[in-house]
Chains A and B, each alone.
Chain A
Amino acid sequence: MEYMAQIIAGLIFIVMFGLIITEKIERHITTLMCGAFTLVVVFGICMRSASAIWKTLNFGSIFKLGFWYGAEESSSAGINWATIIFIAGMMVMVEGMAAAGFFRWLCMKIASLVHYKTMHIFVTFMLMSAFLSMFIDSITVIMFLAAATVELAQMLKFNPVPMILSEIFCANLGGSATMCGDPPNIIIGTSLGYSFADFISNTGIAAAISLVFSVLFFYFSYRRELVSDGGVYTGKLPDPKDAIKDKRSFTVSTVIFLCAVVLLVTHAQTGLSVATIGVFTAAATLAAAGKRIPYILKKVDYKTLLFFIGLFVVVGGLEETGALEVISYFIGKISNGNRYLMFGIIIWISAFASAFVDNIPFAATMLPVIKSLSAAQGVDLSSLAWALSIGTDIGGSATPIGASANVVGTSVAARGGYPISWARYCKRSVPATVIVLVISTVYIFVRYL
């Protein structure tokens, strides 16, 4: 029956991944359905274990003090409520900022500060994309940045596609630098008890080095394409202030954002967990929103939160049945004690997989694998975690479907009348991804091995 549970858990996982890829059913419904199957068939029928169900649902963790306060994050298997609460809180905060006009104001302010010069906008937008994505989900960052880029391109007569592609790449890179920048990092951080400072001093350094090379790469790759077509915009240039919809909300949302950044940066010192920070930012945003509360709550992406819940249950099924130990055993056997090979496999396989499939389920699945690998092979778990984080975050940049920011960025461009084909996307983004992966691999080899 134990093997049967493993096989069924594996089959449910494969079906879930297949359904996510084909998009026949909305992905949150897919993961919730597969999660329900895991609870009933794997835990209920095959394992006859009520404790496995309870452990995977993980409700108990929310009522422990350590969940809200203390250096240790939830490390138990199953639904990672800290990740879900944090992401929900940040979603509320970001919607509050967007409703106040913060992102459009920031884009237009930077464009005006560089006097609407195309190449200056190009470089500053790449840096802004990387910086904002360290704290805010890259979907929101790219949604506004790409829209502002299309608007500026139509005024200043340049092709926005190279700029949007570079912004997407830098958003993914920026996201890899911190614990809250990319969902795989939030999952890794909350599950293994790593702090914001842990990420910034490990993956953050790799991202900073890579950002320098990436900006140079994109600058020299796209500089000819970004030359204005000669047409001169004779209309009135946008005033950044016009983007602000309500001054009070704008000031309040900016202050809340800055507080959230400070709380995240210092959470190892204050002892506040990311779940607490998520609740605080959401509560502060809603308290300040007044009449706009229903609007902000309506804009929150509940489907993504449900997607996470279902996903954690399915991965919990794999973990509880021991199915993932097969993968870690396999990696251990191939590397045969060679740590360079083991880390190489983690980085490059994660990157390759993340280029084609959603990196969130991939990271959630690989996390128990690296835990098991660390225990079996005696390898430092944190080093494996940084390798996994870099592989999944960076690999996603290679193709238009590798990461959420890529999908949103290419979609915003196409809606503006600038469709981006796979060939167009991959022509520069694949070499850039390979360059960053090589840099990161060397970094990990030198620093941790």
Chain B
Amino acid sequence: MSKQVLISIGREFGSGGHLIGEILSKKLDLPLYDNNLLREITTKKNLDHAELERYDELPKLPFFSRTIRGFSNSPEENIANLQFEYIKTLAGSGESFIIVGRCGEAVLKDFDCLISIFINADLEAKVDKISKEHNLSRTEAELMIKQRNSARKAYHNYYCTDKWGDSRHYDISLNSTRLGIEGSAELLEAYIRARMALM
């Protein structure tokens, strides 16, 4: 790929956003970064991955955190910033990639080649997917979805001015239930290729 393209995918838990990212990664031949981003950082810096993974994409605990002169004791916040810096460095090096979550659309907003996407889905579809994947009852799946989305929202909204999932702040916001995972990925591929042609 000659021109740089950066694709950020925000997603609701259970919406299939990550799967769509994987399909787009194959179709567009772009590396996909999600929780493997932290793996790459820890390998490069020779750090304990398991120790850092505990805090990946989690909101900081408000009453257990303090900030002094820009320094925060929150492991969650520091790990998030570590990843944001790494994402910016990667993008700054000219690499094209897809980033799932991790406030990608906000971290990379200064790059003209950014295409920001948000994937949501109907509650019913999310419950079906999660209950099958995690072998949970309907009630358990609903609770898990609620908790994870609440954490993602808190994580995102702490670091970003724009609100998580607000369609006004993404280039395209899509309900994956309407076209299914494959169909959604195809539509997004067409959109991305159209955008790239204009870059």
- When distances are taken between beta carbons in the complex, the residues of chain A under 8 Å from B42 are 417
A143, A401, A404, A417: the one contacting B65 at CB < 8 Å is A401
A415 and B78 contact, Cβ closer than 8 Å, known pairs A21-B63, A400-B73? yes
Measured CB to CB, the closest approach of chain A to B64, in angstroms, equals: 6
Whether the pair A419, B52 counts as a contact (CB closer than 8 A) is: yes
* Given A21-B63, A154-B46, A401-B64: A419 and B69 interface contact (C-beta under 8 Å): no
Q: For the complex formed, measure the closest distance between the CB of A109 and the CB atoms of chain B, giving whole angstroms.
A: 25
Q: How far is the CA of A358 from the CA of B65 in the complex (A)?
A: 12
User: Which of A21, A139, A414, A417 touches B45 (beta carbons < 8 Å)?
Assistant: A417
Closest chain B residue to A408, Cβ basis? B71
Q: Give the residue of A404, A417, A421 whose beta carbon is less than 8 angstroms from that of B82.
A: A417
Contact at B75–A420, with CB atoms within 8 Å?
A: yes
The count of residues in chain A whose C-beta lies closer than 8 Å to any C-beta of chain B is 27
A31 at the interface (CB under 8 A from B): no
Q: Chain A contacts of B81 at CB under 8 A?
A: 415
A410 CB contact (under 8 Å) in B52, B63, B69, B73: B73
B residues near A154, Cβ cutoff 8 Å = 45-46
Nearest Cβ on chain B to A87's Cβ, whole angstroms: 13
- Closest Cβ neighbor of A358 among chain B residues: B66
- Name B55-86 residues within 8 Å CB distance of A: 55, 62-69, 71-75, 78-79, 81-82
Q: Which residues of chain A come closer than 8 Å to B124, judged between CB atoms?
A: none
CA distance A396 to B145 in the complex (A): 39
Q: How far does the alpha carbon of A301 sit from the alpha carbon of B42 in the complex, in Å? A: 33
Could you say which residues of chain B place their CB within 8 Å of the CB of A417? 41-42, 45, 47, 52, 82
Which residues of the other chain, B, contact A400 by a CB distance below 8 angstroms? 64, 66, 73
How long is the Cα–Cα vector from A313 to B66 in the complex, in angstroms? 23
Closest beta carbon of chain A to B41's beta carbon, Å? 8
Q: In the complex, are the beta carbons of A411 and B82 less than 8 A apart?
A: no
Interface of A is mostly: helix
Selected from B46, B66, B71, the residue in CB contact (under 8 A) with A23 is B66
Cβ–Cβ < 8 Å partners of A143 in chain B:
71
Q: How does the 8 Å CB contact mask read for A420-432 relative to B, with 1 for contact and 0 for none?
A: 1110000000000
B75 touches A404 (CB 8 A): no
CB distance from B43 to the nearest CB of A (A): 11
Most chain B CB atoms below 10 A, which of A301, A410, A411: A411
Which residue in A21, A139, A418 is a CB contact (below 8 Å) of B68?
Answer: A139
Give the residues in chain A near B133, CB-CB below 8 Å: none
Smallest beta-carbon distance A231→chain B, Å = 9
Question: Does B51 sit within 8 A of A, measured CB to CB?
Answer: yes
A410 to B42, CA, bound (A): 18
Which chain A residues lie closer than 8 Å to B51 at the CB level?
418-419
B69 touches A139 (CB 8 A): yes
A401 touching B79, Cβ below 8 Å: no
Residue numbers in A under 8 Å from B54 (CB-CB): 419, 421
- With known contacts A23-B62, A418-B47, A408–B68 Cβ distance under 8 A: yes
Chain A residues with CB under 8 Å of chain B are: 21-23, 139, 143, 154, 301, 303-304, 358, 400-401, 404, 406-408, 410-412, 414-415, 417-422
Sample 17 A-B pairs with CB under 8 A, ordered by A number.
A22-B63, A23-B62, A23-B65, A143-B71, A154-B46, A358-B66, A401-B66, A404-B68, A407-B66, A407-B68, A408-B68, A411-B73, A411-B78, A415-B78, A417-B41, A419-B51, A419-B78
Q: What are the nearest 5 A-B pairs in CB distance?
A: A414-B78, A419-B75, A411-B71, A417-B47, A401-B66
